[in-house]
Amino acid sequence: MQKQTPHVESWGRTIKVSQTIIPLFWQPEKFPRTQENESFLPYGEGRSYGDSCLNEGGILLQTRGMNRFIFLDESKGLLRCEAGVRLDEILELTVPKGWFIPVSPGTQFVTLGGAIANDVHGKNHHVAGTFGRYVRAMEVLRSDGNRWICSPQENSELFGATIGGLGLTGLILWAEIQMKPISGPWIDQETVRFSHVDDFFKISEDSEKDYEHSVSWIDTLAQGKHLGRGHFMRGNHSSQKDDRSSKPKTFSIPCNAPNWLLNPFTVRAFNVLYYHRQLTQEKRNTVHYRPFFYPLDAVLQWNKLYGKRGFFQYQLVVPYKNDREPIKEILRLVAKSGMASFLAVLKTFGNIPSPGWLSFPREGVTLALDFPNQGSKTRRLFEELDKIVRTSQGALYPAKDATMLAQDFQSFYPRWKEFEKWIDPKFSSSFWRRVAEGQGTNG
Ligand SMILES: Cc1cc2nc3c(=O)[nH]c(=O)nc-3n(C[C@H](O)[C@H](O)[C@H](O)COP(=O)(O)OP(=O)(O)OC[C@H]3O[C@@H](n4cnc5c(N)ncnc54)[C@H](O)[C@@H]3O)c2cc1C
């Protein structure tokens, strides 16, 4: 294993830390010797936004080179592969054979290990729950050299701690997942425009039974009678079989955009145009799975649009069944601030329990918002939003987070103490030292 020191970031690019990188190409037998206080952290594709995939002053085990497929049982849809395989690579192999990943985040450029360690959710949470529910087994290498096979039946405590375990319980070497049968790569999609967040809840409730996937884009600047207006996208895997898809077209943001690019005027103009792009209230079509699940992946390195200072993503979940006031208050505050960008996603989570001890999804409504980094101005808004999340018994998502307070993390994730016992003694992260040990500064 060779140490390197290239610059590695997380997706939001607000946190600049120095760390040593060890690229892994094979499943390691053991870990290299370290200095006394030096720790390890696995790193997949760095698609987490804040510091949960960073380890200041420590070592990142870069897993992308561990990217071999081990087997695919085509009759049962059981797939085993190394943890550095990316979801797009899995889909390329399995879609033509009639299998899809059971739960997919909004980008396919994440590794299998990363998807497990954040127990990611997708547009089908209301019917499918989280990614971890489909992990049938995995192997975890600990720093003492022991390899543990774990599953819901075998070494189930390490299994529960590792799903959503933020990379702290050891290095996942491979995992076996249950895929979902599909007829082909197409999605029958419907887009419904709604003019207020109350309508969002109504459409969401009406869609739950008949649609496997749903998510909404909202206009974060709209206020008053248009508060939380947006487009509700829902869809099902189509029975259409043919694969006439060509390679996806992508383009790349070559350099940092100027800081002024995303300002309230450009964002407002985008939001108004985007909201009115659909002239009819409802639109139906059949689309390839890529634009349906991964619209942002068409623009590689879109995070550079936020300029050198980077951006934050703030993702929360709050209950809404008995009281919609908290989410409305959050939307009002965000609209009044004028600070959020055009990337804003609203979705309900169902009541299917997540298998990980630190999994984020829980019943409620989740809102994910991107904010250009404007320093203390952005943080002051987050403090206001945090108060509402706290008092309404919601939670923030570690995979997106760069600013959560230690006391908040500990109350949002009450099993964190139990989890701590399973942390590998040689593993740590900047996020963990911030939220569990109260060290370090935010972003
Ligand atoms: C555009 C975009 C859309 C997104 N949409 C969603 C979404 O809809 N739902 C959702 O839940 N998330 C979403 N995310 C977040 C993303 O899915 C998670 O942050 C994911 O974990 C990133 O995977 P990664 O491979 O990049 O891992 P990294 O970000 O590099 O690491 C994430 C965590 O996994 C750990 N890890 C990585 N590999 C291993 C391993 N082999 N063994 C043990 N631990 C490991 C790391 O230590 C770290 O704690 C989105 C991110 C982006 C950029």
Report the CATH number at residue 289: 3.30.70.2520
Is residue 111 within 6 Å of ligand 1 at its C-beta?
Answer: yes
Is residue 53 within 6 Å of ligand 1 at its C-beta?
Answer: yes
Around Cβ 224, how many Cβ atoms within 10 Å?
Answer: 8
Q: Do 150 and 236 share a domain, yes or no?
A: no
Predicted confidence at residue 115, as pLDDT, reads 98
Average pLDDT of 41-65? 97
Average pLDDT of 322-335? 96
Predicted confidence at residue 60, as pLDDT, reads 96
Q: Is 205 helix (H, G, I), strand (E, B) or coil?
A: helix
Q: Which residue of 22, 67, 111 sits with most ligand 1 atoms within 8 Å of its CB, as the best mutation to test the pocket?
A: 111
Domain end point (choices 383, 402, 421) = 402
For residue 280, report the distance from its CA to the centre of ligand 1, in Å: 36
Is residue 50 within 6 Å of ligand 1 at its C-beta?
Answer: no
**pTM recorded for the entire structure:** 0.96
Is residue 46 within 6 Å of ligand 1 at its C-beta?
Answer: yes
Per-residue pLDDT for 441 more than 80? no
- Residue 1: inside a domain, yes or no? no
- Residue 229: inside a domain, yes or no? yes
For ligand 1, what atom is nearest to the CA of residue 296?
1
Q: Do 307 and 356 share a domain, yes or no?
A: yes
Q: Do 227 and 83 share a domain, yes or no?
A: no
Q: Do 79 and 228 share a domain, yes or no?
A: no
pLDDT, tens digit (0-9, with 9 covering 90-100), for 159-213: 999 999 999 999 999 999 999 999 999 999 999 999 999 999 999 999 999 999 9
Is residue 171 within 6 Å of ligand 1 at its C-beta?
Answer: yes
Q: Do 135 and 224 share a domain, yes or no?
A: no
Q: Do 337 and 304 share a domain, yes or no?
A: yes
- The region that residue 308 occupies, defined by phi over 0 for left and psi between -120 and 50 for alpha, beta otherwise, is alpha
Helices (H), 261-371: 264-275, 289-293, 325-337
- Residue 7: inside a domain, yes or no? no
Q: Do 118 and 256 share a domain, yes or no?
A: no
Sign (positive or negative) of CA dihedral 57, 24, 253, 380: negative
- Residue 271: inside a domain, yes or no? yes
- Residue 239: inside a domain, yes or no? yes
pLDDT, tens digit (0-9, with 9 covering 90-100), for 331-381: 999 999 998 888 899 999 999 999 999 999 999 999 999 999 999 999 999
Is residue 117 within 6 Å of ligand 1 at its C-beta?
Answer: yes
Is residue 51 within 6 Å of ligand 1 at its C-beta?
Answer: no
Residue in this structure with the two tokens 């590792």, named with its chain if needed: 162
pLDDT, tens digit (0-9, with 9 covering 90-100), for 89-124: 999 999 999 999 999 999 999 999 999 999 999 999
C-alpha angle 245-212-94 in degrees, rounded to nearest 5: 40
> Which is higher by pLDDT, 28 or 210?
210
Q: CA-CA distances (angstroms) from residue 292 to 123, 187, 250, 347?
A: 10, 7, 15, 15
Q: Do 132 and 244 share a domain, yes or no?
A: no
For residue 273, report the distance from its CA to the centre of ligand 1, in Å: 31
Predicted confidence at residue 440, as pLDDT, reads 66
Tell me, what CATH number does 112's domain have?
3.30.465.10
Is residue 48 within 6 Å of ligand 1 at its C-beta?
Answer: yes
- Residue 409: inside a domain, yes or no? no
Q: Which domain holds residue 217?
A: 189-402
For residue 361, report the distance from its CA to the centre of ligand 1, in Å: 14
Q: Looking at this protein, which amino acid is placed at residue 67?
A: N
Distance CA 268, CA 220 (A): 9
For residue 110, report the distance from its CA to the centre of ligand 1, in Å: 6
- Closest C-alpha residue for ligand 1 atom 44: 167
State the chain's mean pLDDT as an integer.
92
- Residue 137: inside a domain, yes or no? yes
Q: Do 332 and 397 share a domain, yes or no?
A: yes
Sequence-distant (6+) residues with CB within 8 A of 152 are: 159, 355
Predicted confidence at residue 443, as pLDDT, reads 47
For residue 294, report the distance from its CA to the centre of ligand 1, in Å: 15
Q: Do 206 and 286 share a domain, yes or no?
A: yes
Q: Do 322 and 352 share a domain, yes or no?
A: yes
Count how many domains the chain has: 2
Is residue 169 within 6 Å of ligand 1 at its C-beta?
Answer: no
- Residue 372: inside a domain, yes or no? yes
Q: Do 312 and 328 share a domain, yes or no?
A: yes
